[in-house]
A and B are shown apart, each in its own frame.
Chain A
Amino acid sequence: MNELAIDTKDLSKSYASVCAVGGINLAVPRGSIYGFLGRNGAGKSTTIKMLLGLVRPTGGSARVLGLDTLGEHIAILRRTAFVSEKKTLYPSLTPSELVRFSRGFYPTWSDSAVEKYATLFEIPMKRPFGQLSNGNQTKVWLLLALCQGADLLILDEPTTALDPITVDQLMHVLAEDALDRGCTVFFSSHQIEEVERIAEYAGFIDRGKLLMESRLDDIKSEFRLITAAGNSLPSQTSSQVLSVAAEGNFCRYVVTKDADGFAAELSQSGATITNISPLSLREIFLQLVRKEQ
């Protein structure tokens, strides 16, 4: 059995002369929580739509749960729950009716999960969807996705319009309930803190290109901020040095790979290392995007 829930090879999508996704290689392990980070318009939603067969790739290939997205997308959809970036649904249907509508499509549907999550998220089940607040509309999408009993949850900006309490509840649900069932969670977001909180793996996408993809702990351990003091400190970036910020006699280096080695080099050239500290995921993301720009 393929150990990857999502596996893409040079997946790309262009609209006329605009490249929305430019050949990305994603590897999402089964049973993991994967945060797909990127700015607005970075290509997150287009990538997700290609995985679900809503958009046809112009290049490359993708496999979801070991199945080909072009030839076997119905089988993929049977085992995948999806929360769209656009949280629109039939305005005249109540959440109860939407549950009734969705239930029949999935043999693994769980009515007990409906009760559980409807109570947890405090969803007014008898009010038409069109009359619900934006937050409650998002909750209905989440409810429908969580009750499918899916092997893979693909959530596109799942926390849009949610209050902090519900975001907290959702994070718990994803980190505990979903993972307990062996479900893989792939969620896109530009809220880095959410990814940092529950994700085991993260991928950064910008302008259709995957800047980095790895285990979150590895990403964090790979990047270091080195503050050095001295005269004539090096001010060039390289493959190892992502950025340099000089201020008086001090220089701040964002270093990837072998920070200790770089610090030793600086020391040998007469600099005084005043601090070596890890970077937050937000800082790493910003550094990578700035370097790409």
Chain B
Amino acid sequence: MYFWKCWRDTRSFFVVFLIIAAIVMPVAAVVSLGSHLVEDFGPHAFLDTFGLILLAVALGLGAIGASHEFAENTAHFLFTKPRSRAYFVWVGWAVGFAELLAVAVVNILAGWATLSHFGKNPLHSAVFGSIKTEQLGGILIYGLYIYCLTYSLTTVLRNGLRGIGASLAIIVGLPYFAIAIRWRWHVNLPLPTDTIGGLSMAISSSIWILVALLLVLAAQLLVERTEI
């Protein structure tokens, strides 16, 4: 039903990024063969690539998943199906989240395999050595945050491009806003890329996951109140 429809809407985008996630590190490694770049800079390159891919996928899936019904004038068809509007909002979100996670897992596995293969010690790979699990977790949570932010903004603005634009504006503008707040009132505004105050990484991450889900909940409440 709606799972299938959401999958159908996003599958092309998902498959393209799944392929990119799978081949980017092996291709980079093959291209730089003999230069020791992988051995020396592999983990950093992997983390940067991982972050970039996740950012692009989060923005793309967030914009595709939610805007279709309003942009294509099909809300009156969908919302006369015997399901709550919350169901449609969260199914759309869940499909995108599963795809985001799949891209992340494939990218991590491909990166791990590549770094293991070209590194000195295949089993004690870079992922479990020089790259900390917290770093990967942090990027994943940031990806989730961006996905939820874009998804909710796209739903609110009823347009994928506007959703991406607003989301990017917040992502880019928030650190500068935080600097301004700190300069004016000496208050440290928590950012999704950092831990919150003196809290541990685990608690900070949990809070940011909660914030991300609250954004989707806000979108759900708005959709429930929207008149078609």
CA distance A80 to B73 in the complex (A): 21
In the assembled complex, A246 has its CB within 8 A of some CB on chain B:
no
Q: B228, A89: Cβ atoms under 8 Å?
A: no
In the assembled complex, A91 has its CB within 8 A of some CB on chain B:
yes
In the assembled complex, B4 has its CB within 8 A of some CB on chain A:
yes
Number of A-B contacts (CB under 8 A): 52
In the assembled complex, B77 has its CB within 8 A of some CB on chain A:
yes
Least CB distance from B160 to A in Å reads 15
Q: A54, B80: Cβ atoms under 8 Å?
A: yes
Q: A101, B5: Cβ atoms under 8 Å?
A: yes
In the assembled complex, B173 has its CB within 8 A of some CB on chain A:
no
Least CB distance from A145 to B in Å reads 10
The 0/1 profile, CB within 8 Å of A marked 1, for residues 209-227 of chain B is 0000000000000000001
Q: B4, A49: Cβ atoms under 8 Å?
A: no
In the assembled complex, A88 has its CB within 8 A of some CB on chain B:
yes
CA distance A88 to B78 in the complex (A): 11
Q: B84, A74: Cβ atoms under 8 Å?
A: yes
Q: Give chain B residues whose Cβ lies under 8 Å from the Cβ of A93.
A: 8
Checking B1, B4, B74, B227 against A54 with a beta-carbon cut-off of 8 angstroms, the contacting residue is: B227
CA distance A75 to B81 in the complex (A): 10
In the assembled complex, B129 has its CB within 8 A of some CB on chain A:
no
In the assembled complex, B83 has its CB within 8 A of some CB on chain A:
yes
Q: A77, B81: Cβ atoms under 8 Å?
A: yes
The 0/1 profile, CB within 8 Å of B marked 1, for residues 52-66 of chain A is 101110000000000
Q: Give chain B residues whose Cβ lies under 8 Å from the Cβ of A74.
A: 82-84
Q: Which residues of chain A from 89 to 109 have a CB within 8 Å of any chain B CB? A: 89-91, 93, 97, 100-102, 104-106
Q: B72, A54: Cβ atoms under 8 Å?
A: no
Q: Give chain B residues whose Cβ lies under 8 Å from the Cβ of A52.
A: 80
| Closest Cβ neighbor of A74 among chain B residues | B82
Q: Which residues of A come within 8 Å of B, CB atoms? A: 49, 52, 54-56, 74-75, 77-78, 80, 82, 84, 86, 88-91, 93, 97, 100-102, 104-106
Q: Shortest 3 CB-CB distances between A and B: which pairs?
A: A104-B1, A78-B82, A77-B82
Q: Which residues of B come within 8 Å of A, CB atoms? A: 1-2, 4-5, 8, 68, 72-74, 76-77, 79-84, 227-228
